[in-house]
Amino acid sequence: MFMHKSGQSQRIEIFDGMRGLASVIVMIFHMAVWTVYGYSANEYKIFANNFWRVATQTPLKMIWGGNEAVLVFYIIGGFVLARPYLSGRKLDFKPFIIKRWIRLMLPYVLVIAMTVILIALFGAWKHDTIDLSGSFNVKWKRVPNAGEILLYILGYDYNLNILSGAFWSMVQEWRLSFILPFVAIALHRNRTGKVLGYYAILQVGIDALTNWGMRSDTVWLAHLSESLNRTNYYAIFFVMGAVLAKHLPAIRAFVREHRRFRILSAWAIPFMIPSQWILSALGLSFRVRNALLLTGLGIILFLVLCLESPRLTAFFKSKPLLLLGKLSFSLYLTHTTSIILFVTFWGQVIPPETALLLSPLFALPVAYLWQQHVETRCLSLLNHFKK
């Protein structure tokens, strides 16, 4: 009985493996951009040599595509969050949001507290002795003040860059927890086209309003508008996941019945996912946010092809990837803090670049311990809210 899992269970298991791989890609991304050459290639598209040009402007960018990997989390997150409400579950909002806070924000607040303590202890030492890329050097440059720490706890993404390169996306996911259940309920009750039409109007309206606010001379309004504009944009990928959840059976049937579509998709995906980098290599002018929409479509195609491919299914259900999937949230939360701490210490006796290369040997065990002793205990609190 336990050997034959339902398709629903298999899909979740596959997505766990994908999240595991995505978390490793985010870690590799930060390791890359914390080198001078990697930062130059990623931030400015200035390449020190052909290695970095090829690694950045070809499908190889998927190996260290940080933003692209975050979109994998967002699309899968939208899919998973929407499914119960697409099946008709009633939304009990207060328990839902409390559980989401415990699941997402409590570990986030705890890792911020740990990071602030480490900055107070070792930040000045790091700043005085370790010199890598600009992205690395700004981390732990100073201890956040009380106002900034309060904003972090309240889920505001102001000046998070001095702590970590990964925390910004947690803020977006937390905010979107307030919205996505209502989108899923609307999708359950109405035609998808109708829901997406209203959503597009709302999205464009919020984008216009926040763009206006970003031009304000009032500093707090400009900062808040920029933050909400970012949330409004990344909501698109959660909605993509929700729509995929609603129409997955029909989409899978279409893909299963059209071999040519599968072949074309398999060829297109390696260029769609890193599309902003491929388009840049071709000398085309574009907005990164528009290119990331193509990335999102590429990710959805990849998810569907994986579900229809026994080999890819087996790959993402392999023990190493499922273990990484189990650790993915903790690895995502802790890896930047772990790597900076490791490089700060070991960079005193070996070249900092070498310490950076070796840092996963520390970051992965830290993520495992965090998952076992922090994330698991936070999740155990959810038992108090189960009916």
List CB contacts of 147: < 8 A, sequence separation 6 or more: none
Q: Above 90 in pLDDT, residue 5? A: no
> How far does Cα 159 stand from its chain's mean position?
18
| Distance from C-alpha of 170 to C-alpha of 74, rounded to nearest angstrom | 10
Pick the residue with more confidence: 163 or 31?
A: 31
Q: Where are the beta strands (DSSP E) in 2-44?
A: none
* pLDDT for the residue numbered 10: 41
* pLDDT for the residue numbered 165: 80
Residue bearing tokens 């290599």: 281
Domain boundaries, the chain: 9-385
CB 274 within 8 A of CB 68: yes
Q: Above 70 in pLDDT, residue 8? A: no
- pLDDT tens-place string over residues 284-295: 888 999 999 999
List CB contacts of 318: < 8 A, sequence separation 6 or more: 17
Q: Above 90 in pLDDT, residue 12? A: no
- pLDDT tens-place string over residues 173-221: 999 999 999 999 999 999 999 999 999 999 999 999 999 999 999 999 9
Tokens at 209, concatenated: 């309003």
Taking alpha carbons only, the member of 79, 65, 91, 92 closest to residue 15 is 79
CB 345 within 8 A of CB 359: no
List CB contacts of 185: < 8 A, sequence separation 6 or more: 85, 91
Half-sphere exposure of 164 (CA within 13 A, CB side): 29
Residue type, 174: W
**DSSP character at residue 42:** I
| Distance from C-alpha of 30 to C-alpha of 64, rounded to nearest angstrom | 8
Q: Above 60 in pLDDT, residue 238? A: yes
**DSSP character at residue 43:** I
* pLDDT for the residue numbered 328: 96
Taking alpha carbons only, the member of 97, 84, 93 closest to residue 188 is 84
The arithmetic mean of pLDDT across residues 256-265, rounded, is 96
Radius of gyration of the chain (CA): 21
* pLDDT for the residue numbered 1: 35
The secondary structure element, H or E, covering residue 36 is: helix 36-39
pTM for the model stands at: 0.94
The arithmetic mean of pLDDT across residues 262-267, rounded, is 97
Q: Residue 6: pLDDT band by 50, 70, 90 thresholds?
A: very low
| Distance from C-alpha of 266 to C-alpha of 12, rounded to nearest angstrom | 22
* pLDDT for the residue numbered 7: 40
Q: Above 90 in pLDDT, residue 364? A: yes
* pLDDT for the residue numbered 13: 86
CB 268 within 8 A of CB 260: no
Q: Above 50 in pLDDT, residue 2? A: no
